[in-house]
Amino acid sequence: MMSNLLLLSLAVLAAAILGCLYRLLKGPTVPDRIAALDTIGVLLLSMIAVLCMLFRTTAYLDIILVIGILTFIGTTALTRYIERGVIIEDGDAEDDR
C-alpha cells in the first residue's frame, strides 16, 4: 500500500515537472522561466526524497543536498544577472556605494 502511494507521488511530481518544463520553454518573461527552473529543481529534490523512501535507503541524501545548493546558487546568480547585468562585481568601484 505504501509503495503504491509513493509511486503515485512520483507520477504527480513528474507531471508537475512537465508543467514547469512547458513554462520554462514557453514562458512569456525571463523571471517566469527562472521561477520554473527553480521549481523544477525543488521537484527533483522531492522526487529523489520519495525514491529514498521507496528504496528504503539513505544513499541519495547527499545528492539531495548538492542539487539543493546548486539550485539556490543558480537561481541567485540568474536573478542577480537580471537585476544588475553582471553576476560578479568588481570590488574596486567605490562610486557604487
CA nearest neighbour of 64 among 54, 81, 50: 50
pLDDT of residue 48: 96
Residue range 20-43, pLDDT digits in tens: 999 999 989 988 999 999 999 999
Q: Which residue has the cell 527562472?
A: 34
Cell numbers that stand for 26 in this block: 514557453
Whether 47 and 54 have beta carbons less than 8 Å apart is answered as no
Low-confidence ranges of the chain (pLDDT < 50): none
pTM for this predicted structure? 0.81
Q: Is 46 in contact with 20 (CB distance < 8 Å)?
A: no
